[in-house]
Amino acid sequence: MLKGRTYEEVYKNFKWEIPEYYNIGVDVCDKWANEKYRLALIYIDKDGKDHKYTFWELKNLSNQLANTLRAKGVEKLERVGILLPPCPETLLAHIAIYKLGAIAVPLLPLFGPEAIEYRLENSESKVVITDNENLTKVLNIKDRLPNLQMIIVVNSEGMDNVDDFWQSLQKGSRSFNPVLTKPEDPALIIYTSGTTGPPKGTLHGHQILLGILPGFEFYHNLFPKEGDLMWTPLDWAYIGGSYDALFPTLHHGIPMLAYRARKFNPEEAFYIMDKYGVRNLMAVPTVLRMMMHAVKNPKEKYNLQLRSITVGGETLGEELAEWSKDSFGVELNEQYGQTECDLVIGYCSEVMKIIHGSIGKAVPGHIVEVINEKGEVVKPGQLGEIAVKCPDPVMFLEYWKNEKATKERFIGDWMRTGDYGTKDENGYFRFTGREDDIIESGGFRIGPGEIEDCLMKHEAVALVGVIGVPDKLRGEIIKAFIMPKDGVNVDTLLEDNIKEYVKTKLEAQAYPREIEFVQEMPRTKSGKILRSELRKMHTEKTQNS
């Protein structure tokens, strides 16, 4: 736990305590279960009704599920896909998988069949746990997944060839001895978008949670404090929703609020925070911008009790920071990290001054510097690549089945982030840009490669290039430059058809909100599309319009 009254004290006083054996499932659940009535989860269903779960209940239910999975042949290190929204079953699945020593593979419900198929096939998942809303996607691809042996469905309603989640769980014993795992033993694969080709599976050990804790506590102004209640509108399939919010909260024995919304509604967000007395919020700037535009003077309409807000994933902006201070009485603690190495730079407004334009200082426990192409630390103020020193418990183990990509991430004692910036003499970092072409839209990090691969399968597309372009609300939106096949009639119907095609094949947030049809595509001599030239084309068109 972080201690100190200044940034220097907090950073200096922190020491890693990594035990010989450690299991995420035991840590976030079982260690609190002796306090039978200690609240762990408040779940608001889609009808607005809330359901409360104690740590004791979560322990018993996850033990039953772990026994059920073991009886069905799931063994240590085998992969289990979780295709569910934020709900109790999602949390139980994670805990049970970790206790088994198996590996969780979170999957976003917004994913289309192709996105799900690639991740289940690449991870060689043996089981997928889903609900009846997402079951059709899985059934449509099941025959192409030779390793998938079992589908477990929440509320299967008597469907054939699947196992019902709750019926199967009830058959399991409440007694279960968790597998003895070491901190570095694999626990989780989260897929992150790449700039070319398919996503990469980021493999983490159980130690990821221990590695994330100092950043989590830092961003939430020395969490926990009496009365804290955490909520995030981010999906738990993302590292931001699960490991930046859910699991660190439960580690501390503090309750988590979960709300199952089909689509984010800013007015509902204000209402929920008021009704349940939310004290801690993890969000992305897009969410806060939507709230800022939807409700004027929220203090006059809602009794808000927030004491910490942390944001990341996009450029923050001074206007939003000032609005948060005026509306909530809370300064925004910006955070920086990646799926490969999360929560390593940021702010804790309780112990340090926030400087607009800077992304903060190194989080206690992490050594972060700016390096040159040789892996040498550069002088203060000099531009270079942001890097994190190895070893570090928050750092990923490897890219799943991708040794080459893993090696490219490291140079000497440093893990390269691919992000460029500077660090001044006082330790403040400034972000200047990315080495790659990752698009950050509405808090989602989206790789253009997967979108391009999807669009190339459309019957009207001959060639495509995808970039991110500036947007006031989302930070960036996806723009596709498309060279149509000969004889194709270009009109608004085709544009709408292409957008819908991506929505149904990949994920809702990955579709191009803007499409420009071109007769030629800028390419290198080897045929590679020049995204830098596409960005110039967009800029010139914008300036001339």
Task: Return all residues near 403 (Cβ < 8 A) that are at least 6 apart.
Answer: none
Number of alpha carbons in the 13 Å side-chain half-sphere of residue 541: 14
Residue 415 near residue 361 (C-beta atoms within 8 A):
no
Query: What pLDDT is attached to residue 8?
Result: 97
Tokens of 387: 């890097």
Residue 244 near residue 282 (C-beta atoms within 8 A):
yes
Which ranges constitute the DSSP H helices of 14-155? Answer: 24-28, 55-71, 88-100, 113-123, 135-141
Domain ranges of the chain: 23-37+49-205, 439-544
Dihedral angle at the C-alpha atoms of 261, 265, 268, 274, nearest 10 degrees?
Answer: 100
- The H or E element spanning position 403 is helix 403-408
Phi, psi at 328, each rounded to 5°: -115, -15
Nearest by Cα to 235 from 118, 36, 347, 91: 91
Please state, in angstroms and rounded to a whole number, the distance separating the CA atoms of residues 521 and 531. Answer: 10
Please state, in angstroms and rounded to a whole number, the distance separating the CA atoms of residues 381 and 402. Answer: 35
- Estimate the crossing angle of helix 88-100 against helix 55-71, to 10 degrees: 60
Dihedral angle at the C-alpha atoms of 441, 445, 447, 448, nearest 10 degrees?
Answer: 10
Q: Distance of CA 287 to CAs 485, 519, 537, 538, Å?
A: 38, 37, 30, 26
SS3 for 184?
Answer: coil
Fold entry, domain 23-37+49-205: Rossmann fold (3.40.50)
Query: What pLDDT is attached to residue 58?
Result: 98
Instruction: Tell me the pLDDT of the chain (545 aa) as tens digits.
Output: 899 999 999 999 999 999 999 999 999 999 999 999 999 999 999 889 999 999 999 999 999 999 999 999 999 999 999 999 999 999 999 999 999 999 999 999 989 999 999 999 999 999 999 999 999 999 999 999 999 999 999 988 777 889 999 999 999 999 999 999 999 999 999 998 755 568 999 999 999 999 999 999 999 999 999 999 999 999 999 999 999 999 999 999 999 999 977 778 999 999 999 999 999 999 988 789 889 889 988 989 999 999 999 998 766 777 889 999 999 999 999 999 999 999 999 999 999 999 988 999 999 999 999 999 999 999 999 989 999 999 999 999 999 999 999 999 999 999 999 888 899 999 999 887 666 677 888 777 777 877 887 898 899 998 888 999 998 888 889 999 998 998 999 999 999 999 999 998 887 778 999 999 999 888 754 456 788 889 889 988 888 87
Query: What pLDDT is attached to residue 180?
Result: 98
Nearest by Cα to 316 from 278, 347, 280, 353: 347
- Estimate the crossing angle of helix 113-123 against helix 492-505, to 10 degrees: 30
Does the domain formed by 439-544 have CATH 1.10.3720.10?
no
Residue 111 near residue 506 (C-beta atoms within 8 A):
yes
How does 242-277 read in b/e, with b if 16+ C-beta sit within 10 Å?
bbbbbbbbbbbebbbbbbeeeebbbebbbebbeebe
Phi, psi at 305, each rounded to 5°: -125, 25
Query: What pLDDT is attached to residue 526?
Result: 47
SS (H, E, C) 190-217: EEECCCCCCCEEEEEECHHHHHHHHHHH
Residue 393 near residue 18 (C-beta atoms within 8 A):
yes
